[in-house]
A and B are shown apart, each in its own frame.
Chain A
């Protein structure tokens, strides 16, 4: 990365506004603010091809994870299944649309947007689409990235599935569906995707275009 040394030699803490002189870090080490211990920066490491692969894998898993049954309930001979999407819709049907929107946003919409947003960013960087139209899209995605990644809560949904299984196993028999497998894989892929993704690096790519 060819960074502008004059401009990038100091960094301000986002939480307490302390001025910190930037230093080179060994890879895998994060710099924390010496005064308030907030995260400051780490070594930007981003493999564009690796992220592309993870994005495509996540996209392939996304639809089965959301629309195939995650749990099957066997009760007095009848079988009930539910999908993640169906769970949210059934709560909405009862009139609890605030809950339904919260569930849909955190488990379906935000993870989907996250994957698509990273995919478009990676494609724009990989194929060096320099024209102003793509630059504008790229900027827009980067500005929204923090919000989208805060809203996606795949890990919490994972735990919720297990909690529900334990809660209901006292009443009936429960079986995992194919959706659970896909959802678990999606969760793992997205973890690696977020580990690989570095927003500072993505911003610095934009600087290089100029």
Chain B
């Protein structure tokens, strides 16, 4: 790309891109000429919205991990599994690859997402001196990998539908399933509502080169 304009923000030129269709618009325009949706240059309330969603998700992470997520009945014996004990059980059954997949999707990814987004929001809110390139790279990873947490919910729904034979052999979801579903939903939303351009505006105002 051209080197002469590497640090010119679109805002400085009075330009912005439409949040719906990414058409180039003037900052003083209120409605995009191409898609007819509202145009705003920056969404400053997005930090607050994102914080609210993230904190709710972080609180819900506790019931999601502490309460059982499935109840398994096998020959009269009832087993209540939390996310972690279920993965432990898989390791004991020598299904290590499956255990690793489930561990990544249901424990590692949600926690990394919450910690990562938290760091990102802290960096914007309190102007922390963290490299913006690294923050942005982390943000893209969070956005991309976040959907994979749905894996656990899909597995629960398949198992619950298949294994359904009363006292002999039965699998049911348990309270943590709802909490876990909400954690995924809220963290995805928190990443989606955040206007990442706010981080880069700070770069211009501070004029640091990281």
Contact = CB atoms under 8 A, between A and B. Distances in A.
B155 A164 contact: yes
A164 B159 contact: yes
A38 interface: yes
Return the 4 tightest CB-CB contacts between A and B, nearest first. A160-B154, A16-B200, A82-B161, A87-B157
Interface residues of A, number: 67
A99 B150 contact: no
Nearest to B11: A17
B165 A91 contact: no
Contact of A91 (B20, B24, B156): B156
Interface of B: 1-2, 5-11, 13, 15-17, 20-24, 34-37, 74, 90, 93, 95, 98, 101-102, 132-133, 136-137, 139-140, 147-148, 150-151, 153-165, 168-169, 172-173, 177-178, 181-182, 184-185, 192, 196-197, 199-201
Contacts, number: 193
A106 B154 CA distance: 9
* Binding site secondary structure of chain B: helix
A119 to B, nearest CB: 20
A17 B9 contact: yes
A100 B156 CA distance: 10
Contacts of B6: 18, 34-35
A15 interface: yes
A78 B194 CA distance: 51
A90 interface: yes
Interface of A: 7-8, 10-21, 23, 31, 34-38, 70-71, 73, 75-76, 78, 80-82, 86-91, 94, 96, 98-100, 102-103, 106-107, 139, 142-143, 150, 153, 156-157, 159-161, 163-164, 166-168, 170-172, 200, 203, 206-207
B140 A99 contact: no
Nearest to B3: A34
A38 B136 contact: yes
B161 to A, nearest CB: 4
Nearest to B182: A98
B9 A164 contact: no
A154 to B, nearest CB: 11
Contacts of B101: 159, 163
A205 to B, nearest CB: 11
A161 B133 contact: no
B137 A37 contact: yes
A133 to B, nearest CB: 15
